[in-house]
């Protein structure tokens, strides 16, 4: 069983590494990442903050506001500063739980998992419970013991699972993150950033089961042996006092302070706020999210299949299009600063094959490049035509 789980785990790691290499080598073709069924194409987020002077002052030491679909950063305050992430760590634990495990597989709780202290779901050695219920206990009630049980089920040991967490973080572009455990209990080399946590939460929200669990105010988990139910109440109070809130995870330790990763959806648009070491974490998150909904917007710059330009061939121009959309999220006041540039990669001569890549389109806001998509010929144009 352990051999099978490791094979499954290393397969996922290999895929992550390959994906990371593709993005590094070719930013044009690496501009999109996994998308959910109901969402538009999701592009890899930019590394720079669009605007610093967003909402009025927030109490958080570090904060970021990100559009979930586009990945664009709308506000940042020390967003790349390394800090203890506390229980927001469990976002990554849950992601790997769903990606590497089978939700309905039965887990037998070990002595080590049962011995984990602080916030727990009170696991006892020998109890049997499904992986899905453990992930629910980790996300809703912030069970430290549940995280260790998840790790042992998937990777054999917590230490081996943590290695997978760090590899996954790098594959997602979370370059200022290093995990030492699965639950966020304080350790010197256990750190992340507001920006990195937003990347991880954004990825998690594209997993339907992850998104479903983190939006629940209250739920029950079912233990198989003994056959009992446990009531759980979400630690994320924003789910009660902000009507648009729909996730994600709290975290609190003495070293980290009060932390929150919070998502909200309004008029079909989902934003993600991260606040670290925030005395008023729920107030800060609500303030950031409301500012984002009111002062920023998502603009579609490229529609798939739409004629973008005409390739200047010697005798006759050829229409070009993109297979991929480009959506950008920006402050409303900056919409007039958006620009597009067509870069031709082929000399203006024939022949041109139908579907041939002839160049790419770039979208810029001032001196910041947001994204680019390849441009392909709509028709064939032969020599002598």
| Catalytic sites, residue numbers | 87, 90, 142
Q: Which of 318, 299, 311 is nearest to 360 (CA)?
A: 311
Distance between CA atoms of residues 276 and 81, nearest Å: 10
| Contacts with 350 (C-beta within 8 Å, 6 or more apart), sequence order | 313, 314, 315, 381, 382, 383, 385
The 3 state secondary structure assigned to 78-94 is CCCCCECCHHHHHHHHH
Q: Which of 73, 32, 36, 19 is nearest to 302 (CA)?
A: 32
Tell me how crowded residue 320 is: count the other CB atoms within 10 A of its CB: 25
Q: Which of 204, 161, 211, 201 is nearest to 183 (CA)?
A: 161
The values of phi and psi at residue 255, to 5°, are: -70, -40
Q: Which of 44, 69, 75 is nearest to 269 (CA)?
A: 69
Token pair of 276 as six digits: 């670290």
Distance between CA atoms of residues 48 and 111, nearest Å: 45
Token pair of 2 as six digits: 């352990």
């Amino acid at each position: 069983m352990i051999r099978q789980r490791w094979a499954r785990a290393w397969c996922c790691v290999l895929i992550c590494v390959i994906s990371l290499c593709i993005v590094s080598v070719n930013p044009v073709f690496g501009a999109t990442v996994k998308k959910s069924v109901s969402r538009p194409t999701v592009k890899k987020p930019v590394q720079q903050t669009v605007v610093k002077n967003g909402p009025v002052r927030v109490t958080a030491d570090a904060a970021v506001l990100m559009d979930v679909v586009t990945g664009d950063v709308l506000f940042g305050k020390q967003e790349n500063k390394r800090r203890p992430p506390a229980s927001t760590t469990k976002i990554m634990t849950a992601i790997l739980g769903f990606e590497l495990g089978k939700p309905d597989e039965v887990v037998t709780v070990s002595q080590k998992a049962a011995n984990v202290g602080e916030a727990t779901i009170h696991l006892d050695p020998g109890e049997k419970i499904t992986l899905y219920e453990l992930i629910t206990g980790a996300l809703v009630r912030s069970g430290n013991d549940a995280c260790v049980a998840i790790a042992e089920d998937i990777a054999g040991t917590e230490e081996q699972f943590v290695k997978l967490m760090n590899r996954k973080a790098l594959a997602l572009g979370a370059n200022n993150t290093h995990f030492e455990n699965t639950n966020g209990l304080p350790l010197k080399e256990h750190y992340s950033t507001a920006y990195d946590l937003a990347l991880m939460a954004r990825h998690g929200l594209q997993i339907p089961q992850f998104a479903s669990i983190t939006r629940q105010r209250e739920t029950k988990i079912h233990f198989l042996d003994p056959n009992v139910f446990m009531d759980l109440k979400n630690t994320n109070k924003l789910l009660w006092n902000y009507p648009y809130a729909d996730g994600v995870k709290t975290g609190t330790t003495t070293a980290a302070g009060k932390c929150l990763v919070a998502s909200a959806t309004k008029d079909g648009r989902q934003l993600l706020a991260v606040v670290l070491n925030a005395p008023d974490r729920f107030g800060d998150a609500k303030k950031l999210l409301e500012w984002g909904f009111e002062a920023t917007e998502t603009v579609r710059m490229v529609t798939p299949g739409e004629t973008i330009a005409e390739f200047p061939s010697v005798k006759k121009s050829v229409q070009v299009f993109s297979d991929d959309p480009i959506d950008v999220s920006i402050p409303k006041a900056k919409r007039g600063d958006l620009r597009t540039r067509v870069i031709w990669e082929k000399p203006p001569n024939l022949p041109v094959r139908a579907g041939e890549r002839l160049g790419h389109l770039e979208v810029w806001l001032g001196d910041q490049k947001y994204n680019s998509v390849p441009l392909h010929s709509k028709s064939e144009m032969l020599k002598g035509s």
